[in-house]
Amino acid sequence: MMDNPAIFKIQRYSIHDGPGIRTTVFFQGCPLSCRWCHNPESQRMPGKISSEEMDKLVAKLMEEIEKDMIFYDDSGGGVTFSGGEPLSQPKLLFRLLDQCQEKEIHTCLDTSGYADPEILFSISQITDLILYDIKLIDEAAYKTLTGKSVSPVLNNLKLLSNRKTNVSIRFPLIPEMTDTEENIADVISFLKENTDYRDIHILPFHKAGEGKYELLKMKNHMKDIAAPSPKRVAKVKEQFEFNGFNVTIGG
Amino acid sequence: MNSRIKTLRAKTREKEVSLSHERAGLVTDFYKTYISMNESIPVQRALCLKYVLENKKIYIEDNELIVGERGPEPKAVPTYPEICLHSLEDLEILNSRPKVAYKVSEETRRIYKEKIIPFWKGKTIREKIFAVMTEPWIDSFHAGIFTEFQEQRSPGHTAGGDLIYRKGFLDLKSDICQCLGKIDFFTDHKALEKQEVLKSLNIAADALISFANRYVDELDRLAATEKDASRKVELQTMAAVCKRVPAHKPETFHEALQYYWFLHVGIITELNPWDAYNPGRFDQNLYPFYKRDIENGNLTREQAKELLSCFWIKFHNHPAPPKVGVTAKESNTYVDFCLINLGGVTPDNKDGVNDLTYLVLDVIEEMRLLQPSSMIQVSRKNSDRFIKRALKIIATGFGQPSVFNTDAILQEMALQGKSVEDARLAGASGCVEAGVFGKESYILTGYFNLPKIFEVTLHNGWDPRTKKQIGLKTGNPKNFKTFEELFDAYQQQLEYFVDIKVRGSNIIDQINAAHMPVPLLSLVTEDCIENAKDYNQGGARYNTSYIQGVGIGTLTDCFSSLKFYIYDEKQISMEEVLTALEKDFSGDDILHHQLKKAPKYGNDNDYADDILKQVFRAFHGAVTGRPNAKGGVYRIDLLPTTCHVYFGEITGALPDGRKAGIPFSEGISPVQGADTCGPTAVLKSAAKIDHLRTGGTLLNQKFLPELMKDEKGVQGIVHLIRSYFKMDGHHIQFNVVDEKTLRDAQKNPQHHRDLIVRVAGYSDYFVDLTVALQEEIIQRTAHNIY
């Protein structure tokens, strides 16, 4: 493997990254730096690769993806591209999606939505389902907690909705950050006013990434923040449901 | 659970396991005093059973509904001195060993010393076996190349079919009478032998009817003095049931259960067949009675559940007969491997799951007892709901029920040449062994130590532990130029040892056929009556002998290491490897580390998995199809019980990086910690074995409760099962682990590389998590250990 490879992990038997049994391919590199990120090692952008290396990589990844075909067929699963932010490596992503489409493998793209609209649009046309993160609506809060502007994220989602793209919304429930009364109300009204999407997955914050911060010697903003209580999660679920959403807890 | 069941359950769980001299004493009395030497051996054996059943203590527990105990009281386990005579030293070991102990009273020791040992010494089957085994057999046995199932227990390994639900013992007696009339004394040279067998079956039928009648008398006596009016009625009902069965074919659910139970006690009193006995396709066999009683208003669901719970307790009252020596090591447990089969297909090939199936699953969940074991048969015709119901029980960390592939079993049976009708009556008994219930004798002959044979190959036929030349001289491995030469040497050794094993087992079969017939087991195994042949002589419709391969994962990884580093990459020499193995890798950390990094089985990696296929073919080819002494053939199974620990103990360091004495891989599971690509990769690798050419394979998967906690997690497991079975996998079981294992995983992560945890939105290997997260997950794990 290269020092800074394009893909940082492949996880077979993922059952919470879209429907059925899936293989999740984690892309290296993310434009955001969310405070609660549980894959902080994936944030750094990968090194450039030649087209020859790209061919080899695609072949190798496809071989890995195809290994679990029998499980995808039986469970209605497939492959999920996650990260990092897969849209930050559009060429690789496009090649993989294209091949999966040819081989009739169901594809999910797990994205923050922070991407060039042209790229997102062209990718969305060959993706079966987009798992789209809506974290915060307020510009200032988004900027503080992720490092970037929220407007491309919101505009892109509107665009996808207008084009009737198949999207499943994912809302990370992070105490003190996304889990505030205002933000939840904002998310609800944004989705209702600007999109047709009414299926939402609430992803409660967990401490899984904690140790990685120590290993990477990165500052962990979440040290003193606990996972939301089941009671709180149920309350938020109820609030979304009251507003006409179909809610699932977890991916 | 009602208060009756709660009390009975508590009693059986708390009761200490003890060794009873009752049976041994009665058998000795019989042979000393009552036996007529003019009788044939089958008749002697039948009369012996009758004597025991007519003279042993009758025990009825307060408030129980199903009666019949093998010992003088629950969990008092008899011995079988005609098979294996325990010395006073054995008794002391049994009494005081830290695990799987049997309390032995002073009185029992005295009776052993004064009566049982003096009479049986020199007359047992065990002694007969060891006396006629050849030196190569003895050397291989002591070196730990194989074990011998029949050295302390009689051949059995079968399960009951549907016969007893169609016929009472009086019906069977009339069948016997007819067959006796058909014996042709003019042209058939076996006519006398046949007559004696049929006579013995007839006596065995009487023996069990007498036993039931003794219960009738005792129940009548208890009913007469019972103060509690409702218990009085119960006792009267039970007496009426015992009056009807086993003499007549059962008419009610209660009678069907009691009939089976009398038969079970009879068979495990007659001798100590390995894997006890088994009610087989339980829900299939019992459903007609259940349905009729419910429809007629004679039984409620609650009453059926209570009867089933009482039935379950009876199994728990009967720990395995005491094992010593190698037998204790290969199967170190109280469990006697009675495996309740649920689901699968009906005889006309439809979905076999019925209301009773679900009721029995409720009982399994509620009783949560180590015995009986339970399994579900999953056919593609069965619903997901059925699998999910079973997974709910599995998710509690109970390890039961295990999950079997009916469609694979059907194909296995068909490949073995069985009729379609019979194949649909098949199931798995013991651990994972497939057979046609009620019609097949499919005995296990012993475990076979595949990695040890590899070790011996590396030493040119020499066993470094017993310091003997036990194998062939296949050459100094340092001189092997290619992987093929190495493999060829291994294959020669393998075939040599299989020859020794098969020769020995053929002789043992003949010893049992001549000296230890089993009239009662024969009576209920089809076609023993028609053939006028005992079960141990090959009277059953099908007769299969299995040799159970152990350590196929370890063996594969050993070959993979050497192929990769010596022959393909040429990074290491054979000499370096052999030197390191001899020193158990001490001072050779770099080489040790390197060997551990070779391609390993269990990762869906064809480099290692192709070797797996090759070692499977070699073992299968060496065994399958060889004739046994009962008109059937030898076949292979891949399962270990606890033998992978014993075999590991007596095998030195191996080139997969395993140190001396460490357990081998278990069943067809990958080497502990060698599989690092998740469950789908393990299943893909395991499915590369040609399961259909075996009589059973055993795959263990270990999951944390977290992974099965929600609907999606359970659904994921359902899909794993379905996909594995689509690939013709034979069996899978899930180990949903407890805190103890996780604590050990923290202390010894190298032994728990394959432990998967559901963290939050993703799954990961437990040992890859930080200590803080491990702590958190330990807190989440249910503290529910039994």
Q: Would you say B338 and B371 are in contact if contact means Cβ atoms under 8 Å apart?
A: yes
- Terminal-residue alpha carbon distance, chain A: 30
Whether the predicted model's global pTM rises above the 0.80 cut = yes
Query: For B49, how many CA atoms within 13 A lie in the half-sphere containing its CB?
Result: 32
What element of type H or E holds B405? strand B402-405
Are A15 and B713 in contact (CB < 8 Å)?
A: yes
- Distant-in-sequence, close-in-space partners of B656: CB < 8 Å, separation ≥ 6: B554, B557, B558, B560, B561, B595, B596, B598, B600, B671, B674
Nearest by Cα to B323 from B70, B87, B152 = B152
- Amino acid B73: pLDDT: 98
Q: Find the range with the poorest average confidence among A207-221, B465-479, B724-738.
A: A207-221
DSSP sequence for B48-97? HHHHHHHHSPP---TT-SS---SSSSTTEE---TTT-PPPHHHHHHHHH-
pLDDT at B760 over 60: no
Chain A hits for B719, CB-CB cut-off 8 Å, are 20-21, 71, 74-75, 77
pLDDT in tens, B683-740: 999 999 999 999 999 998 878 777 787 888 899 999 999 999 999 999 998 878 777 8
User: Residue B44 and residue B196: Cα distance in Å, rounded?
Assistant: 10
Alpha-helix runs per DSSP H in B516-668: 519-523, 528-531, 552-562, 574-582, 589-596, 606-623, 643-649
3-state secondary structure of A218: coil
What element of type H or E holds B132? helix B125-132
Residue B189 — left, alpha, or beta (φ > 0 → left; ψ -120 to 50 → alpha)?
alpha
Beta bridge partners of B428: B434
CA distance B776 to chain A (A): 9
- Amino acid B99: pLDDT: 72
- Kindly provide the b/e burial profile for residues A55-75, where b requires at least 16 CB atoms within 10 angstroms of the residue's own CB: eebbeebbebbebbbbbbbbb
- Amino acid A220: pLDDT: 86
Mean pLDDT of A13-27: 94
Are A210 and B772 in contact (CB < 8 Å)?
A: yes
pLDDT at B212 over 50: yes
Whether B188 is in a domain gets the answer no
DSSP sequence for B415-482? HTT--HHHHTTEEEETTTEEEETTTEEEEEEEEEEHHHHHHHHHTTTEETTTTEE-S-----GGG--S
Whether A23 is in a domain gets the answer yes
Tally of structural domains, chain B: 1
- Amino acid A172: pLDDT: 96
Give the CATH number, domain containing residue A34: 3.20.20.70
Is any Cβ of chain A less than 8 angstroms from the Cβ of B773?
yes
Domain that holds residue A126: 7-168+206-219
Whether A154 is in a domain gets the answer yes
User: Residue B664 and residue B671: Cα distance in Å, rounded?
Assistant: 7
Length of chain B in residues, anyone?
A: 786
| Residue tagged 């090692």 (tokens) | A41
Chain B hits for A70, CB-CB cut-off 8 Å, are 684, 723, 726-727
pLDDT at B468 over 60: yes
DSSP sequence for B287-334? HHHHHHHHHTTS--HHHHHHHHHHHHHHHHT-PPPP--HHHHHHT-SS
Are A75 and B726 in contact (CB < 8 Å)?
A: no
Whether A229 is in a domain gets the answer no
Is any Cβ of chain A less than 8 angstroms from the Cβ of B755?
no
pLDDT in tens, B161-194: 999 999 999 999 999 999 999 999 999 999 999 9
Are A207 and B761 in contact (CB < 8 Å)?
A: no
Active site residues of B: 431, 433
- Amino acid B784: pLDDT: 30
Amino acid at B38: N
Q: Quickly state the pLDDT bin for B758 (edges 50, 70, 90).
A: very low
Whether B689 is in a domain gets the answer yes
Of A13, A206, A212, the CB nearest to B680: A13
Task: Give CA angle at B435 (B431, B438), nearest 5°.
Answer: 110
User: Residue B45 and residue B537: Cα distance in Å, rounded?
Assistant: 14
CA distance A23 to chain B (A): 10
- Amino acid B764: pLDDT: 46
Count of beta carbons in the 10 Å neighbourhood of residue A52: 8
ipTM surpasses 0.85: yes
Whether A31 is in a domain gets the answer yes
Q: Would you say B139 and B146 are in contact if contact means Cβ atoms under 8 Å apart?
A: no
Q: Would you say B333 and B340 are in contact if contact means Cβ atoms under 8 Å apart?
A: no
Q: Would you say B334 and B100 are in contact if contact means Cβ atoms under 8 Å apart?
A: yes
Domain that holds residue B689: 442-698
**Burial category of A25 from C-beta neighbours within 10 Å (exposed 0-12, middle 13-18, buried 19 and up):** buried
pLDDT at B754 over 70: no
CA distance B636 to chain A (A): 28
Q: Would you say B80 and B272 are in contact if contact means Cβ atoms under 8 Å apart?
A: yes
Are A206 and B761 in contact (CB < 8 Å)?
A: yes
Compute the mean pLDDT over every residue in chain B, rounded to the nearest whole number.
93
User: Residue B689 and residue B301: Cα distance in Å, rounded?
Assistant: 43
Mean pLDDT of B136-155: 96
Mean pLDDT of B61-82: 98
Query: For B328, how many CA atoms within 13 A lie in the half-sphere containing its CB?
Result: 16
Whether A189 is in a domain gets the answer no
pLDDT at A205 over 60: yes
Q: Would you say B766 and B704 are in contact if contact means Cβ atoms under 8 Å apart?
A: yes
| Residue tagged 């903003």 (tokens) | A221
Are A206 and B759 in contact (CB < 8 Å)?
A: yes
pLDDT at B537 over 90: yes
Whether A173 is in a domain gets the answer no
Whether A232 is in a domain gets the answer no
Q: Which has more confidence, B143 or B157? A: B143
| Residue tagged 């679920």 (tokens) | A237
Q: Would you say A152 and A171 are in contact if contact means Cβ atoms under 8 Å apart?
A: no
Written as six digits, the tokens of A132 are 């789209």
CA distance B717 to chain A (A): 9
pLDDT at A3 over 70: no
Instruction: Please state, for a pLDDT cut of 90, what percent of chain A lies above it.
Output: 81
pLDDT in tens, B647-678: 999 999 999 999 999 889 989 989 888 888 88
User: Residue B691 and residue B676: Cα distance in Å, rounded?
Assistant: 23
Count of beta carbons in the 10 Å neighbourhood of residue A10: 18
Q: Would you say B550 and B644 are in contact if contact means Cβ atoms under 8 Å apart?
A: yes
Whether A66 is in a domain gets the answer yes
Count of A–B CB contacts within 8 Å?
91
Nearest by Cα to B73 from B91, B60, B54 = B60
Q: Quickly state the pLDDT bin for B782 (edges 50, 70, 90).
A: very low
- Amino acid B778: pLDDT: 62
Residue B560 — left, alpha, or beta (φ > 0 → left; ψ -120 to 50 → alpha)?
alpha
- Amino acid A186: pLDDT: 97
Whether B329 is in a domain gets the answer no
Count of beta carbons in the 10 Å neighbourhood of residue B542: 24
Q: Would you say B457 and B474 are in contact if contact means Cβ atoms under 8 Å apart?
A: yes
Q: Quickly state the pLDDT bin for B773 (edges 50, 70, 90).
A: low
Tally of structural domains, chain A: 1
Q: Quickly state the pLDDT bin for B516 (edges 50, 70, 90).
A: very high
3-state secondary structure of B162: coil
Chain B hits for A11, CB-CB cut-off 8 Å, are 678, 762-763
